[in-house]
Structure 1
Amino acid sequence: MTAAVNTDEVFIQLTQTTEGRGNPYPLYRQLHEHAPTIFQIAGTKYYGVRGYAECSEVLRDGRLGVGERAVGQDADGEGDKYGTFITDPAALINLDPPLHTRLRRLVTKAFTKRQVDRMLPNTTSIADGLLDKFESGDVIDVIADLSTPLPVAVVGRMLNVPESDWMLFAPLMVDAVAGASPWATIDQLKAAYAASEQMKAYFIEFVADRKAHPIEDDLLTAILRAEENGERLAEDEVNLLVLTLFVAAFSTTAHLIGNGLYALLSNPDQLRILLDDRSVIPSAVEEFLRYDPPVQVAARSAHEDLEIAGTELPAGAQLTVLLAAGNRDPERFTDPDRLDVRRSQGPPLSFGGGIHHCLGASLARQEGQVFFDRLLSRFPNLSLEAAPARRDEIFAFRELRNLPVRLAS
């Protein structure tokens, strides 16, 4: 390790510059080469975690909570007025035990492997239906035409949201997620707040109707009926939970598909492997999650003085867990900056870990596998039509605005 690179400057470039957010991977490499696996930022209470083993340990350590959630660029406190359901302290993603334990246990009973496995025919049908709209020679935007409608339709069917309402949520969810970044502008926070309020109003009415008219074998009905020691979720808990699940299911899967397909089309040798052997698709989806994950970071907060990987952390320390950096850790992955769809070196960090491991991880994997199988079966000679535009306003999320592709059978 050398002092040739200023870690604070690298972290600032990574989180607060357009160039760094647009392509963080060279900066992650610099951190791996020059920074400790857990490093303090400019003498503050903030720390970065860049190593795979250390990220995994932090995510699973019960002495750490989910972390403070900063609200945008609000030097004058104006941002505090524009909280969304994502930043709501009562949301599952923002809770620590024992409140988190109770809510997660009740939800997990409804979000079982059986529920997800039962969605496979539906997921396949939805993917085929979307692809049926196009033919060889068409130029499409994968983000707008495929990767966004697929998860929205899947979770819409799981919750039995009317099909006519599915795509109402797509632009609202983009705005709401943008407001979750600590570096969001006031304008982004205002747009996120407006989108969040619109979706909250919809789901308050939607949940009330389902409670009055339950549907057998329906995820929302299962959530409403989920019980632990005679205790069920309160109505406001269900409203917030359903909205969070809807958005989480959309955002992760949509950008797993977009980022993964772009990586695949940018590496023709890896595309050829999938075309020749479709059984590689499950490992390819894991590699897409590792190589360019939709969620780049997680936050944790030290509840007490502690030591992790030889680093002393005081109570109140705020840790930025660099999931995407951990996924590129050369001590964990061979040649980590290379896409390798046959890679088999253990799971990526992309769905988090510990008690906050993503509830929808198995569903996202299912949708990703179905998408690539059906797309490559229909249009094996597809190609990139133009360079995509990337959303670079938010460090925490890795998303494409569009992905122009020419379909070819």
Structure 2
Amino acid sequence: MNSPDAPKPDATPAANPAADADLDPFRIRSPETLANPYPVYARLREEAPVYFSAAYNGWLVTRYDHVAAGFRDPRLSAKRSSAFVTKLPEEVKQRLEPLRRNLASWALLLDPPEHTRIRSLINKAFVPRLVEGLRPRVEALVTELLDAAAPAGQMDVLRDLGDLLPLLVIGEMLGVPTEDRHRLKGWSNAIAGFLGSGRPTLEIATTTLGAVVEMEDYFRGVIAVRRQSPGNDLLSQLLLAEEQGMILGEQELLSTCCMLLFGGHETTKNLIGNGLLALLQNPREREALRASPALLGPAVEELLRYDTPVQWMSRVALDDLEIEGVRIAKGDRVFLVLGAANRDPAHFPEPDRLDFRRTDIRHISFGLGVHYCAGAALARVEAQSAISLFLRRFPGAELSPAPVTFRQSPGVRGLVALPVVLGPERASS
């Protein structure tokens, strides 16, 4: 899945809470809002649908129609990697240059025609027909992970299933040896901390820099092996395309590996975690899904709408423009707030209610237009497999008594942990 990105790293210490109150009258950055942003989104949609947030130094766009139009507006550019470091001191810019250079070749952060060239290669591996062929393997991996957790009678669903499944799947797709896949998790989490923070500190940026440098070094080795011994994995396909004249430069190839790792792991992990949490908190819908497996596809779409892992995606205005009569200047940052758009009552009746029988779930959790998430079909297969097999095997699963906490991130919405008491297993048929 696609991911959001954050404003420039903040080289200063954490902001003073009292000062933040002046910068953030809607309390967008408050712990309460980060834990549950939807009431604030509702206020913004009603009172200030195009709102300049001084706290994030950008415009928040929260109504569905405006967000959808923003994804398709060529005046709003996805090419924004330089925004991470533009206003930092020169010596800090130089130190973070490998991070900026890596992000600058992510298809997610490019406009056509550069985006089109790289995306056309990636698309070859994510054709829905080919992804559907992965379903048996994905289901086998889910079964293995549930087998490992079942004897204890309890599990952290995020750690033991949501985190591991997409890591194993994208690791196999990239041809990473099984024994190395634990390394991918740390790298992906570091990027998530940077891209999802909304206001990354210099410390966060420096940690992410270290992860990116390690990732690039690692993938150079994997690429060298694949050049000598091609396999059936995605990386081998990218190298084959290079031989056929559709060339990716070395940095583009390394950046694409990093982007695929992050996109294939972080957002799918949170889709599984957020989705299972919503099911455990809504027993009526959980029982409806268990009673009618045909609801699985619509259920995952509704879960994506209800609590999308990607809350914000940003753009940069290439020209002066207006949205809802509000003037946005050339160079301004615009945050398209997917989480708010997905609960716009103008498109979704009773938007705060989870309802698997909705007939028109046109959520925008995967974006729209040329940047529509390349891995959407894979994310659906993984979420459908994880949710259906978990519910089938543990029909009486319940949340543990401990409070459920979300990470303090405005852009990427995901749990810190999801402890669950599994209850009796259903006998195999």
State how far apart, in whole Å, the 2-side matches of 1:359 and 1:7 are: 40
- SS of 1:300 mapped into structure 2: strand
Residue in structure 2 matched with residue 147 of structure 1 by the alignment? 162
Asked if the contact 1:382–1:405 (Cα under 8 Å) also holds between the matched residues in 2, the reply is yes
Deviation at 1:210, TM superposition (A): 0.8
Q: Does 2:127 match 1:115?
A: no
Residue in structure 1 matched with residue 207 of structure 2 by the alignment? 191
> Structure with the greater relative contact order (CA < 8 A, sep ≥ 6): 1 or 2?
2
Q: Deviations over 1:280-332 (max 9, x none)?
A: 11111111111111110011122123344554433223211111000111111
Asked if the contact 1:73–1:186 (Cα under 8 Å) also holds between the matched residues in 2, the reply is no
Asked if the contact 1:68–1:318 (Cα under 8 Å) also holds between the matched residues in 2, the reply is no
One-letter amino acid of the structure 2 residue matched with residue 278 of structure 1: P
Q: Does 2:276 match 1:261?
A: yes
Shifted more, 21-30 versus 336-345: the winner is 336-345
Residue in structure 2 matched with residue 3 of structure 1 by the alignment? none
Q: Deviations over 1:336-362 (max 9, x none)?
A: 111112223232111111111111111
Residue in structure 2 matched with residue 31 of structure 1 by the alignment? 44
Asked if the contact 1:136–1:407 (Cα under 8 Å) also holds between the matched residues in 2, the reply is no
The TM-score normalised by the length of structure 1 is 0.90
- SS of 2:155 mapped into structure 1: strand
Q: Deviations over 1:174-210 (max 9, x none)?
A: 1221022341223222222222222221111111211
Q: 1:326 to 1:60 in 2, by over 3 A?
A: same
Q: Does 2:73 match 1:61?
A: yes
Q: Does 2:229 match 1:213?
A: yes
Q: 1:136 to 1:42 in 2, by over 3 A?
A: closer
- SS of 2:314 mapped into structure 1: strand
**How many equivalent pairs are there?**
400
Residue in structure 2 matched with residue 355 of structure 1 by the alignment? 370
Q: 1:29 to 1:159 in 2, by over 3 A?
A: same
Asked if the contact 2:305–2:361 (Cα under 8 Å) also holds between the matched residues in 1, the reply is no
Residue in structure 1 matched with residue 385 of structure 2 by the alignment? 370
State how far apart, in whole Å, the 1-side matches of 2:100 and 2:73 are: 26
1:328 to 316, 322, 343: 343
- SS of 1:47 mapped into structure 2: strand
State how far apart, in whole Å, the 1-side matches of 2:122 and 2:412 are: 25
Asked if the contact 1:111–1:219 (Cα under 8 Å) also holds between the matched residues in 2, the reply is no
- SS of 1:320 mapped into structure 2: strand
1:236 to 251, 254, 273: 251
The TM-score normalised by the length of structure 2 is 0.86
1:394 to 409, 413, 416: 409
Residue in structure 2 matched with residue 204 of structure 1 by the alignment? 220
Q: 1:313 to 1:189 in 2, by over 3 A?
A: closer
Residue in structure 1 matched with residue 320 of structure 2 by the alignment? 305
Q: 1:361 to 1:87 in 2, by over 3 A?
A: same
State how far apart, in whole Å, the 2-side matches of 1:118 and 1:263 are: 28
Q: 1:29 to 1:141 in 2, by over 3 A?
A: same
Q: 1:73 to 1:98 in 2, by over 3 A?
A: closer
Q: Deviations over 1:124-172 (max 9, x none)?
A: 1111111111337611111111111100111112222111111222133
1:129 to 144, 149, 153: 144
Q: 1:372 to 1:317 in 2, by over 3 A?
A: same
- SS of 2:149 mapped into structure 1: coil
Residue in structure 2 matched with residue 280 of structure 1 by the alignment? 295
Asked if the contact 1:144–1:402 (Cα under 8 Å) also holds between the matched residues in 2, the reply is yes
Deviation at 1:33, TM superposition (A): 2.2
Shifted more, 352-361 versus 252-261: the winner is 352-361
Q: Which runs of 5 or more structure 1 residues have no equivalent in the other structure?
A: 1-5
Asked if the contact 2:184–2:261 (Cα under 8 Å) also holds between the matched residues in 1, the reply is no
State how far apart, in whole Å, the 1-side matches of 2:394 and 2:40 are: 36
Q: Which runs of 5 or more structure 2 residues have no equivalent in the other structure?
A: 1-20
Residue in structure 1 matched with residue 12 of structure 2 by the alignment? none
Q: 1:305 to 1:74 in 2, by over 3 A?
A: closer
State how far apart, in whole Å, the 2-side matches of 1:74 and 1:304 are: 20
State how far apart, in whole Å, the 2-side matches of 1:345 and 1:86 are: 41
Residue in structure 2 matched with residue 250 of structure 1 by the alignment? 265
1:22 to 18, 35, 53: 35
One-letter amino acid of the structure 2 residue matched with residue 316 of structure 1: G
Percent of aligned pairs sharing the same letter:
36
Asked if the contact 1:7–1:34 (Cα under 8 Å) also holds between the matched residues in 2, the reply is no
- SS of 2:334 mapped into structure 1: strand
Q: Does 2:111 match 1:96?
A: yes
State how far apart, in whole Å, the 2-side matches of 1:23 and 1:77 are: 38
Q: 1:224 to 1:172 in 2, by over 3 A?
A: same
Q: 1:87 to 1:79 in 2, by over 3 A?
A: farther
Q: Does 2:419 match 1:407?
A: no
Shifted more, 174-183 versus 253-262: the winner is 174-183
